[in-house]
Chain A
Amino acid sequence: MNLWRMELIHLFRSWRGWTLSGIYLLASLISLFVGFFIERANGSFPYSQAIDWYITFSIVGTLVFIGIVVSSLAFDGNRDSSIFLRTRFSMKQILLTKATVYFLLSQILFFAGFLIALLGGLILFDTSDHLNFNWVLWGLLLYLISDLFYVALMLFTSSIFRGPVISVLFTLAVILGFPLIGSTLISLELLMRGLIEIPFADWETTSYVAKALLWWPTALEDTQGFLGVTNSEVSSGYISFLGVSYPLDAHFRQDALITTIVSTPILAFLAWLRFSKREI
């Protein structure tokens, strides 16, 4: 018995792991169902769009995942079980095990769902326009980097409060709050400047608030669109993701990539420091 096994038991002897697996499976199946009905209505549905739908539906899995990870990281919420861990394992061991298990789990579940959507799409839908392997690989790498940031962020937010509920709420507020507040501020700014009529895709090049928010690490999530780039999109130089058209550029969201790479180790270190200094 070790900490790794304990985390897996915590996940798979309870609803946590199974619910999360179910959500990602459901996201992939729903993306195929949606594709099936769109194909019946339109006569054609490219399989790459099943990937786009899957990425959209898997957001629910991400939210549930955040709740599960943060409540697991709030182990100090129960003083006596925290004593059991803290008197036997170093804080480095505890945090590293939790971070690694949850990071790997999130990758395995996301990509298992991705594969189901991809294989199902290849069997069921139009395969005349294939995915571009190089762009998908680039998207995969950026997805891994983005997820590492999320794990580090959850470590940090969990180190601020002890209770699981407040930790989950705070983490969700940080992750969802920034984009929500940002969108409101962008709209206000564009309204004040009389530019609200410009196309949505141009907001980030026009609004000062939007330009600043492109440095916020979660903006890197937009690169998930690379997971569904097709050869025709490479030829056109544009991709369409979640209803928005972006220029196909390898440096897309590079500001967010820089802040993600810089802030991930800093957040993890601060989290370790706070957990280590916390009195029980």
Chain B
Amino acid sequence: MPPALVLSGVTKLFGKIRALDALDLTLEAGSIHGFVGPNGAGKTTMLSVVSGLKRQTSGEIEFGVPARQMMLMPDTPEFFPLLTAREVVDLARHPFRHEIDETDVASIIREVGLEEAIDRRVGGFSRGMKQRLGLAAALIGRPELVLLDEPCSALDPIGRREVLDMISQLKGRATVLFSTHILSDVEDVCDSVTVVDHGRAVYEGTVKGIKKKRGQSFEQAVLELLLPERGEK
């Protein structure tokens, strides 16, 4: 199968700041790929560039899926506060209304654990609830490429587990690019990982590969990759 997404030398400049620095990335179709790095490493910028919300300064992006089959969930999803959860997901279904039945709206809201709040206005939702709703809105169209920006950052441990399970279930059905700085989440669900710092990839390969290479836990190995980048011992 051709890759779902290929980034070649993608650079994004904000004035003199190099948010992405000749970034290369290949996403195998049907895989779950973690995009790991500290705050300000360029994770959100990369997802914005891939989803077309920002334009790269240079470099190439090739998609193996149609543009409408790509969906982004931002790290703090916000919705129109006067809509109910059901209306938000139904609105998200609109571009796929010929393929996705209206009954799927309630079932995906149930899957993300918001069944009791389905007819409540989202203006009163907590950040965690918004993240769950964001996931439902991102997945309702059964996209082939899912871009998730720190999808568990506001969730409690149970919510985190549920969302990670949902992401795991996408394996084979969709390609997932999953940005986070919670390393254990990557180890749990991802097949491959890119470790990024200052907009540059410092590691790209399998999750298992990074362990073998260093003979340490995943977390320690990633930290060791990042610390020299920052000039620390």
Contacts and interface: CB of A to CB of B under 8 A. Distances in A.
A80 B94 contact: no
A10 B94 contact: no
Nearest to B86: A1
A83 B80 contact: no
Contacts of B158: none
A279 B53 contact: yes
Contact of B53 (A10, A14, A78, A280): A280
* Category for how many chain A residues contact B: 20 to 34
Contacts of A13: 82
A6 B91 contact: yes
B72 interface: yes
Interface stretch (A86-94, A185-193, A246-254, A259-267): A86-94
B41 interface: no
A84 B137 contact: yes
B78 A78 contact: yes
Interface in A69-95: 78-81, 83-84, 86-89
Contact of A88 (B48, B82, B94): B94
A9 B74 contact: no
Given A9-B83, A280-B48, A81 B92 contact: no
Contacts of B28: none
Contacts of B63: none
A124 to B, nearest CB: 39
A9 B82 contact: yes
B80 A10 contact: yes
Contacts of A9: 80, 82-83, 87
B90 A279 contact: no
A2 interface: yes
Give the most central of A2, A14, A84: most B CB within 10 Å: A84
Given A83-B74, A84-B77, 14 more contacts: A1-B91, A6-B80, A6-B83, A10-B82, A78-B78, A79-B78, A80-B76, A83-B77, A84-B78, A84-B137, A88-B91, A89-B95, A279-B53, A279-B55
- Which are the 6 A-B pairs with shortest beta-carbon distances? A80-B78, A1-B90, A280-B53, A81-B78, A13-B82, A1-B91
